[in-house]
Amino acid sequence: MYPRLLPVLLAFFVSIALSACTMLAPNSQANTIRFAVLGDAEPKPKPEFPNVEAAVQDVNRLARRQKVDFVLGVGDIAHKGTLLQYDNVTPVLQELSLPLYPIMGNEEHGSTVERFLEYANLWNNGKVEIKSPSYVLEHENVAIVMASPDFGRDFNDSGIAWMVTQIEALNPKPVLLVVHGAQVGIYPERADKGIKHSGFADVIAQPNLAAVISGDLHMDMDRVVHSKQINGVHYLHIPALERTKIPDSSRHNPMFRVFNVQSDGTVAVDTYQVGIPEPLPRHAYQFDLRL
């Protein structure tokens, strides 16, 4: 009698195991996030955005192939914050199939915070609502602090205090900080340009700050050191899409970067050149949120 039950019991336990695996897979996937980051645009002399448009189409294609949750922007989309540039880029960014979370740069401060917020919501076309120039995106294993500058590319005392407060409140969760420009001296290719407020040292000193993601410098990824670790914090540059300025403007290869934050704390950063479907191995970078 008992031998006859063995196949039934075996099938029962196999069924439970398969069900458990099926339930675990979505949860495991939910614990990872993948997002693209678009760099500066601010085209001149013509207010045209061909490489932003090409990057948008590349991100959309990538999202159809694999999980991509959203897109970040590091500021300086509209040169001098003019209505013409805001208007011209809006239909381009509305083509994104994913939510877009931007911050301001020094160019947007050529106009007003209110104009930036108006257009940030037009770009999203109802996908998400951007209510403030600075905000936090919190996920299970990591938080992203989106910090717009208070003027130019710098912060005042209240902006510094806001960042410190947000990062402290998130501790021990690891934090990725998105600012328009990193602090002065981080990128020796243009060491004088960036955040100069002395209080930014308190932001960097937060024990759960894992990385600073920035743009602003329009650096050619092939001719600079774009990703590095300094005193336990990783710094990652996002190249500009419409114009390269550093080390010079002799050549421009528009690129964007994609961050894959895995459930074990590993962050793999890929760099894509616009129009090329696979990432560029020479610009791959990896770090661990747990360190």
Task: Tell me, yes or no, whether 10 and 150 share the same domain.
Answer: no
The number of distinct structural domains making up the chain is 2
Q: What is the pLDDT of residue 209?
A: 98
Task: Tell me, yes or no, whether 11 and 112 share the same domain.
Answer: no
Q: Which two tokens stand for residue 115?
A: 């104009």
CB 197, CB 154: distance < 8 Å:
yes
Task: Tell me, yes or no, whether 36 and 162 share the same domain.
Answer: yes
DSSP 47-68: ---HHHHHHHHHHHHHHHHS--
| Residue-averaged pLDDT of the chain | 91
Boundaries of domain holding 19: 1-30
Task: Tell me, yes or no, whether 59 and 136 share the same domain.
Answer: yes
According to DSSP, residue 270 is labeled E
Q: What is the pLDDT of residue 3?
A: 44
Task: Tell me, yes or no, whether 237 and 281 share the same domain.
Answer: yes
Instruction: Note the helical H segments in 31-140.
Output: 50-65, 83-93, 113-124
Q: What percent of the chain has pLDDT over 90?
A: 89
pLDDT greater than 60 at residue 279 = yes
User: What's the CA gap between 173 and 196, in Å, rounded?
Assistant: 27
Q: What percent of the chain has pLDDT over 70?
A: 89
On the CB side of 85, how many CA atoms lie within 13 Å of its CA? 24
User: What's the CA gap between 274 and 126, in Å, rounded?
Assistant: 26
Strand 33-38 relative to strand 135-138, pairing: unpaired
Sorted by sequence, the CB contacts under 8 Å of residue 35 that are 6+ apart come out as 68, 69, 70, 71, 72, 258, 259
Q: What is the pLDDT of residue 22?
A: 29
Reported as a single tens digit per residue, the pLDDT across 77-104 is 999 999 999 999 999 999 999 999 999 9
pLDDT greater than 60 at residue 245 = yes
CATH number at residue 176: 3.60.21.10
The pLDDT of 207-233, averaged and rounded, is: 97
Reported as a single tens digit per residue, the pLDDT across 12-43 is 333 333 333 322 223 335 579 999 999 999 99
CB 167, CB 203: distance < 8 Å:
yes
Task: Tell me, yes or no, whether 190 and 230 share the same domain.
Answer: yes
How sure is the predictor about 196, in pLDDT bands with cuts at 50, 70 and 90? very high
Sorted by sequence, the CB contacts under 8 Å of residue 120 that are 6+ apart come out as 100, 102, 130
Reported as a single tens digit per residue, the pLDDT across 107-147 is 999 999 999 999 999 999 999 999 999 999 999 999 999 99
pLDDT greater than 90 at residue 291 = no
Reported as a single tens digit per residue, the pLDDT across 160-181 is 999 999 999 999 999 999 999 9
Amino acid at position 127, single letter: K
Q: What is the pLDDT of residue 238?
A: 98
Q: What is the pLDDT of residue 290?
A: 80
Name the β-bridge partners of 195. 183
Q: What is the pLDDT of residue 30?
A: 57
Q: What is the pLDDT of residue 6?
A: 43
Task: Tell me, yes or no, whether 233 and 106 share the same domain.
Answer: yes
